[in-house]
Amino acid sequence: MLENILKEKNLPPFKSSEEMLDILLKEEYGYMPPKPEGITYKSIENYIPNFCAGKAISRKVEITSQFSKKEFTFPIYVTIPKKEGKHPFFICINFRDSVPDRYIPVEEIVDNGFAVLSFCYKDVTDDNNDFTNGLAGELYENGKRGASDPGKIAMWAWAAQRVMDYAETLDCLDFECSIVCGHSRLGKTALLTAATDERFKYAYSNNSGCSGAAISRGKQGERIEDICKNFPYWFCENYKKYVNNEYNMPFDQHYLVASIAPRYVYIASADEDKWADPDSEMLTCYAVSGIYEKYRKKGFVCEDRLPQVNDMFHDGCVGYHLRAGLHYFSREDWLKIIKFVKKHSCI
């Protein structure tokens, strides 16, 4: 059944990871901002005293990147279990700077043995068409962009990679179990982060939908026309060419997930989130399965049908679940990605 659905979509064939990623950067997200020439960290220890009942350290860190004789600084929030040993960890791109947050149940994450490093995406650059503030202001003269210059998603992904730079200074983290995650537009960002940085062993996209985890051809709910009308600044200018033109794109979102292979990818949907379109999100998982098999790994192991509420497919390197409810990054979502990571990393 799923194979027949994909055939009807006539997806572009896979290319090498480098070729697929280059197409995506040129035509959709824009090329990534340059890596910093230098980077420094300023830490505030014991940021939240007695955090998690004393089970974890809490730290605020300001990351300063130097490039082109300019500097850019943004804050991150670090929570690490006090228990000895190396800890698996999440880098979470978040909508707020709150710790804990309604999208990040930090104490429960710590109780499962994971550290979490988070930052607020607006501390990097505003979520609007202003390209003169934050990182955007350091990259562009007068806020003007070329056709394949980075949009805001690429800038937020760049910031997540700078958080990984900081993580690499810590000897208490398990870099074989590093997960970048985000919800909605930040789920799109998490996938791009991992696709452009092999240091992330897992990418977790929660309800990312259009221009994220969902196949664009034949998608229900939000389409490229909608997203380019409402949020054109998330992408490069070239992306506008594909408004009502999905079937002529030289790519689709399966290229984004395939660029992460053979590392792990996890995609989550919500049953009532029709705007994101759970069917199209799961179809991406199915579409990339063959790429993993070329690496002699299990790809996406599922039943041959479209998703149903409470589905949880964890047996392959590509995981997926569909929960009941609306567009939200819930405790249930966190517990399921933790379960997936523990299954595959033998934690």
| Predicted confidence band of residue 69 (pLDDT cuts 50, 70, 90) | confident
Q: Which one from 184, 205, 289, 330 is the annotated catalytic residue? A: 184
Strands (E), 141-263: 173-183, 202-206
Chain mean pLDDT for the chain: 97
| Predicted confidence band of residue 85 (pLDDT cuts 50, 70, 90) | very high
The domains of the chain are located at: 2-345
Dist. CA 127–CA 162, nearest whole Å: 19
Q: Which one from 17, 98, 148, 327 is the annotated catalytic residue? A: 327
| Predicted confidence band of residue 347 (pLDDT cuts 50, 70, 90) | low
Active-site annotation holds for 344: no
DSSP letters, 4-73, are HHHHHHTPPPP--HHHHHHHHIIIII-PPPPPPSEEEEEEEESSSTTGGGGTEEEEEEEEEEEETTEEEE
Matching CATH number, 2-345, of 3.90.850.10, 1.10.3300.10, 3.30.450.20, 3.40.50.1820: 3.40.50.1820
What tokens does 237 get?
């200018």
Whole-model pTM over 0.85: yes
Active-site annotation holds for 345: no
pLDDT in tens, 170-186: 999 999 999 999 999 99
